[in-house]
Amino acid sequence: MPPIKHTHPAPARAGLLLAITLALAGPAVADDDGRSMPRQVPKAYTSECGSCHLAFPPGALPAASWKHIMAGLDKHYGSNVSLDDATTRQLDSWLQAHAGTWKRVGETPAQDRITRSAWFQRKHRQVRDAVWAHASVKSPANCGACHPGAERGDFDDDHLKIPPGLPLHLRWAWFD
């Protein structure tokens, strides 16, 4: 009886290699889906940016959009939100390091608004204008109105909530 050779046939070897590659790439891909928050968030990001709006996950915009935004803080969607130079530099480099590279953040959205991105509009296509305008929502930028885990970067469809007081006829998008 010939000795058993412990080599795999070529297709199996390729499969094993693929499995190892996927396993190694796994965490990077998960980190890069653009919606979760990076593990290290500068305090200034939460206190400066996150006071007026959700501290948006940096992966929700491409690097070029963050560059425009950080270069124009004196005219930030109608407000002057200038920061001192050191904080501006710190947040700028953190945003550049964690900006979106995933497939949907391929182009800079109009006015560098997350809500003008094609992926955002497609994801929310069933949400009627009256929902955005509702008193408990007010703005598409108010992610937390429907995504209770938004602060943690949890935008999972299964964790949605219905904003309080939303009339029945506007709720169907939540059950679709």
Partner 1 sequence: MLLRSRLLKPAAALLLAAVTNAAAAAETTAAAQLEHWNAQASTPGQAARGQAFFTSRHGGEWSCASCHGTPPVREGRHATTGKSISPLAPAFNPRGFNDSARSDKWFRRNCKDVLNRECSPGEKADVLAYLLQLKP
Residues in contact with partner 1 by the rule CB under 8 A: 51-54, 77-81, 137-139, 141-142, 144-145
Type of residue numbered 171? R
Residue pair 137/146 in contact (Cβ under 8 Å)? The answer is yes
* CA distances in angstroms from 19 to 6, 26, 30, 81, listed in the order given: 19, 10, 16, 47
To partner 1, the closest distance from the beta carbon of 151 in angstroms equals 11
135/168 with CB nearer partner 1: 135
101/136 with CB nearer partner 1: 136
To partner 1, the closest distance from the beta carbon of 142 in angstroms equals 4
To partner 1, the closest distance from the beta carbon of 158 in angstroms equals 23
- The pair of three-digit structure tokens given for residue 41, joined into one six-digit string: 């968030």
To partner 1, the closest distance from the beta carbon of 118 in angstroms equals 22
Eight-state DSSP code of residue 35:
S
Residue pair 107/62 in contact (Cβ under 8 Å)? The answer is yes
To partner 1, the closest distance from the beta carbon of 21 in angstroms equals 41
3/167 with CB nearer partner 1: 167
41/63 with CB nearer partner 1: 41
Q: Give 79's strand partners.
A: 76
Residue pair 59/105 in contact (Cβ under 8 Å)? The answer is yes
| DSSP result, 67-92 | HHHHHTGGGBTTB-----HHHHHHHH
63/162 with CB nearer partner 1: 162
- The pair of three-digit structure tokens given for residue 37, joined into one six-digit string: 């928050």
